[in-house]
Structure 1
Amino acid sequence: MAPTIDLNSDLGESFGAWTMGDDAALLRVVSSANVACGFHAGDASTMLSVCREAAANGVTVGAHVSYRDLAGFGRRAMDVPPAELRDEVLYQLAALSGLTRVAGTAARYVKPHGALYNRIVHDERQANAVVDAVIAFDPSLALLGLAGSAVERAAGEAGLRFVREAFVDRGYRSDGTLVPRTEPGALLSDQAEIAARAVRMVTDGAVTAIDGEEVTVQVDSLCLHGDTPGAVAMALAVRAALAAADIGVEPFA
């Protein structure tokens, strides 16, 4: 059988009069949609609209949970007490779950966003808080994150399904973590390079780090950020390259 891979994107990040990305176009390309839940971006109308569009396109919906940080787009480090973080993740899950039900679909997984995503690669207390929230809300949900992270270990200990993610449009360090957005090489923009990286991640389980070192990546889902300039063209290039390599695209959940 030909291999398959999930292709996810962060969507629903518009807020009020502020528009972010082309959700409708990306929902015709990706297989999973990480929908912002109102803490870093997204509002009720945007969330519902994206959920409806995802349902119409057969795209799986996940909750893109974040620190409470609209002003910083969820990309500022925050020392949130674990109990408070657990409750705020629960709040976001409840909000998206209600809207998915109205839209005729359901939230199938959880993906932390931005600073929270990066924090729980190493921070065991916050990683456990996120896992505790998912278990309390619905233990059948999958948790999407970086392989080899503290949150992967916490999910495994709790019996929660963990889905390993790799980023086709972000630079990697030699330790397998992402280059911070404040540093050179963090964001990639060349469509051909991004498409080739996607194929290599799936077929070889490898990516070239910013220092030239080869890094092993374990991947069940590829991510392409919806707020990246040219994201739709990049997503189409990735899909075409995967198809050319006889790799199918389908949701993991």
Structure 2
Amino acid sequence: MLDGNDLKSVRKNAGISQTDMAKKLDCDRRTIINYEQGVCEPKASQLFRWLSACKVDLKPLASQLQHFKESIFVLFALPFISPEIVSAGYVGVVALCVLYGLFRQSVNITQIAMMFCVIYTFEYLITALITSELKSLEASKYLVANSHFTFQICTSILAVFAFKNRVSISIYILESTKVTETFFDNMATWIYVYHTFIAVLLAIEYTIDYKYNIKHLSFIYEHFEKFAHAAMILAIWLLIAMIICHEKELKNGNSQC
């Protein structure tokens, strides 16, 4: 947001007096002075008229507002998107990163992207299978939920171990000298530390609610999908950052990503 000094500077650079600006905005000179001294802020419509009068190009600002509105729309739309669509989209993007790593012959990107893809797909399919089997056996809701949560926690802990020891495991299994530890390994580890923490809180909250019927303990349960989506976004951001880093290093004649 522009402050009073910015408004004053823009007006002076345009060669417009306070009196003339007051006429352009259909207000008195005292209002202009208050705007420039920070006593009050102009409404959005007044601000646009101010900038327009000073011949300021509003296209970049309008573009930013459009992107902001689109981002807000996406945020509001996420809760209504089917989990299956979100899962397919996530796996699809990560799979593209795997293909990039193979094409660019980046062992680190290929491995980290493949680990994200395999861990998520494995967890998604097995939890769905466990839930389906327990329901077919008419198991209690508590047993179904806790089995689901326990498997998620175990998978997340294994993922933390896998990312923490990716290099040593790769060297032991593949005997490759191209595998190197990067800054992104630690970030991937912390993503699953976060996921483990949320899953543990979910299990505790659900157990307390189920056993003691404390209904106000449902925050994690009600928003778990959003927390999971946050982890997905972090994973995708990490892979994109690795790709950008790799491209820059290729231009410089080396590659550590």
Is the structural similarity TM-score above 0.5?
no
- Structure with greater proportional strand content: 1
TM-score with structure 2 length normalisation?
0.25
TM-score with structure 1 length normalisation?
0.26
Rg: which structure is higher? 2
Higher RCO (Cα < 8 Å, 6 or more apart): 1
- Structure with greater proportional helix content: 2
